[in-house]
Amino acid sequence: MMMGRLMHRNRFKNKAKAEKQRFQWPAFLRDWRLYARRGGLVLLLVGALSALTWALDRPVRVISIDGSFQRVSPGQIEKAVAPFANQGFMSANLEDVQRAVEALPWVDHARIARRWPNSLRVTVTEQTAAARWGESGLLNTRGELFVRAAAHVPAELPRLSGPEGSESQVAQRYLKVQGRMLEAGMRIAALRLDERGAWEMDLDSGVTVRLGRREVDERIDRFIRTASQVIAHRLNEINYVDMRYSNGFAIGWRNQGTPASVPAKHPDDADA
């Protein structure tokens, strides 16, 4: 009798256990407490960070400026940074500040950093003028036109010119050649590219070198290697050197009675 009751009870337990195993609460309901704890921790951290940022985001009181200044004044930089100082020490967007400073004429690059507790440090690198462009423009060492109408143009800079949009092309050719010309004892005073694509350069001695439109680099090489040796001792007597020949050159003398050198061929009609 006892055995029968025990078996009946065991069957009931097993049936209840099986029913319990068949029913499963969704995972998000079973773990709601865990999610709630994690969400509460995230909210706590966000709130703490927000409170800390608010406490630290005091107005910028000091703008320190560093750099070697010749063309840019500290007053110009302070004026460019001033609108961002009101945003606060933490909320000021440093990239926006950098763009505002670099928009100033003669500023090549600016680096902005926060300095605790209420200061912005601005480090400025000025542009280096490598050449004039046209009448009053200035090109930097990368061939970029950074000032279109300079109030003061250094007279010692070479003058480059060409069609609109050719600034980089002309500057790159000048930067490529100038070192070799100096090694040969000559200095480029001007380099021109005309609307037809023909090149000319003036030396500081007053001699014009005509290079034309074709094989310009090869003609420059030939001028440095050969023609410059021929004209070296008579620069004051020469008006131009025409390199637009396949294997020779012509010299135009200031005194028209002086015979010119005879080239191997006439210059290309396309270059003439």
Task: Give the model confidence (pLDDT) of 39-63 as tens digits.
Answer: 666 665 655 455 445 556 678 788 8
Mean pLDDT of 104-124: 92
Given this model, what pLDDT does residue 6 score? 44
* Tokens matching residue 78: 């302070």
pTM greater than 0.75 (yes/no)? no
Mean pLDDT of 113-118: 86
Given this model, what pLDDT does residue 3 score? 47
Between 266 and 137, whose confidence is greater?
Answer: 137
Q: Assess whether pLDDT exceeds 60 at residue 70.
A: yes
Residue ranges of the domains in the chain?
62-126, 129-253
Chain segment 207-233, per-residue pLDDT in tens: 999 999 999 999 999 999 999 998 888
Mean pLDDT of 193-215: 96
Between 172 and 42, whose confidence is greater?
Answer: 172
Q: Assess whether pLDDT exceeds 60 at residue 1.
A: no
Specify the range with the lowest mean pLDDT, choosing from 41-55, 92-106, 128-142, 244-258: 41-55
For the sheet with 238-242, list strands across it. Answer: 145-147, 137-140, 129-133, 159-161, 188-193, 199-203, 208-212, 238-242, 250-253
Between 139 and 256, whose confidence is greater?
Answer: 139
Given this model, what pLDDT does residue 140 score? 92
Given this model, what pLDDT does residue 163 score? 95
Omega of the bond prior to 105 within 30 degrees of 0, cis? no
Chain segment 14-29, per-residue pLDDT in tens: 555 555 555 555 555 5
Given this model, what pLDDT does residue 77 score? 94
Given this model, what pLDDT does residue 39 score? 62
Mean pLDDT, all residues of the chain: 82
The fold of 62-126 is Ubiquitin-like (UB roll) (3.10.20)
Percent of the chain with pLDDT over 70: 73
Given this model, what pLDDT does residue 96 score? 94
Confidence of residue 2 (pLDDT cuts 50, 70, 90): very low
Q: Helices 94-102 and 74-85 sit at what angle, rounded to 10 degrees?
A: 150
Confidence of residue 37 (pLDDT cuts 50, 70, 90): low
Mean pLDDT of 89-118: 91
The fold of 129-253 is Rossmann fold (3.40.50)
27-31, 91-95, 203-207 — most confident range: 203-207
